[in-house]
Structure 1
Amino acid sequence: MDFPQTLRAARRGRHLSQLDLALRAGTTQRHLSFMESGRSRPGRTMVVRLGESMELPLRERNELLTAAGYAPVYPRTPLDDPALTHVRAALGHILTGHLPYPAVVVDADHELVLANDAFGLLTEGVAEHLLRPPVNVLRLSLHPQGLAPRIVNLAQWARHILDRVPPGDLREELSGYVPHAEPGHDHVGFAVPVRLRSAHGELRLTTTITTFATALDVTVAELKLEAFLPADAATAAVLAGGSRAADHGDGPGTARRPAVTRGTGSRR
């Protein structure tokens, strides 16, 4: 799309009127209308301001700049680049600090970047081919040879996952793995706990997602840290017990520094 179409689509996608966006960006509705009709070519600073005003993801801000004829201003640095050493260190610290509970870091394609040792609890019995890099954590969750056979509330959990995936090949693939089920009156979206069968009984886990809200690098801005938390006392006890066993050498390690599965951006 050219710049007028790209700008108009972005604005409408965020349910903003021309007046709303003009006020946010410090311009006039007339000027914005001229930009969307192609009668006025904005300067680079204005394009950056429009992207910021719409709170576009950094990747989309770069696309807006490119459509306007300018070079992207937000870098996409591979995660294994020395410039992001501090980011890797921070993620490793957070993941280790979340033990004994599982936690992972994924990129914009939902591919695994980092995981703490407790993540092994979730991948018990998973087919080896699903664990070969790059590991897509959504496919890992719903594939018949992945976690799916162990998920008690698969239909409900699958809807929770599919709600996060935009239309496309991945969503179509994932939809084919799970039975269709309309949400019931008790469907609460993001708060859905996953009920997972394990050797220690049923585990109930809920999730939180953390992002780098102030990042100015596309790679960093697109990273998501997903942490699994016990949804009941029994699950908390099982996870804590696993940690104690590891400390005495009776179970899998849970305090080692997470390993990088692959550097984000390495194949783009």
Structure 2
Amino acid sequence: MDHQISAVIVNRKEHKLKKGCGYHLDLFVVAVMLGVCSVMGLPWFVAATVLSITHVNSLKVESDCSAPGEQPKFLGIREQRVTGLLIFVLMGCSVFLASVLKFIPMPVLYGVFLYMGVSLLRGIQFFDRLKLFWMLAKHQPDFIYLRHVPLRKVHFFTAIQLTCLVLLWTIKVSRAAIIFPMMVLALVFVRKAMDFCFSKRELSSLDDLMPERKKKLDDARNEAGEEEEESRRAMEAAAAASSVQLNVGKTSDVDIPKQSSDG
């Protein structure tokens, strides 16, 4: 489960990663190592979510933001393998430095983990919508869902998600943690009940089924298609009007035979 979550997040299209054959080779090696580790009683070899996402973020090159609400633009990939190498070298060295590491205060370690977790919240739609509660309208970024969904409905959707998250966390840390999987399954019915409060277009914009960048591209294509359709209709209407005027002009030029006055 940890490996699949990491793979889904890392391989989102907005990261623009390539080398698909290398990705499949990685999955094959992981599958083989899972079998070997299971037979030999060793820990499973899977992708760590925090380490994987941190490595991907270190590869991205983005523009600097200056205006309020402006989102950084993706410029390219910084090809390097230093991050992953250093991470695992330091993890290996920690085995031999246990006598020294025990003097590090636990609050310091918790602070490091907290920083890593918070730094990975950037780009998550749920976290972006939470910040909208305290953000002025003029400072709000150009999110695609703000174009199609009223702000009050965005807040309502976010409040439902936040309530479900708090409820799940409360159950997880209580004695009723055994029913946690059933409560996760119950979220399916909560999502289905939202059909009575939101339209399909609103849910498509808020449910984050695809990356924000992809939604903006699709929205731009739809707008371009609508403009092209309107332009085509206007040209057809103009051509039809021109044809009618031409026919009227031809009719007025036709000689009408006069009656003879000879008796």
Fold match by TM threshold 0.5: no
Bigger radius of gyration, 1 or 2?
A: 2
TM-score (normalised: structure 2):
0.26
Instruction: Looking at secondary structure, tell me which structure has more helix per residue.
Output: 2
**More strand, by proportion:** 1
Structure with higher RCO (Cα < 8 A, 6+ apart): 1
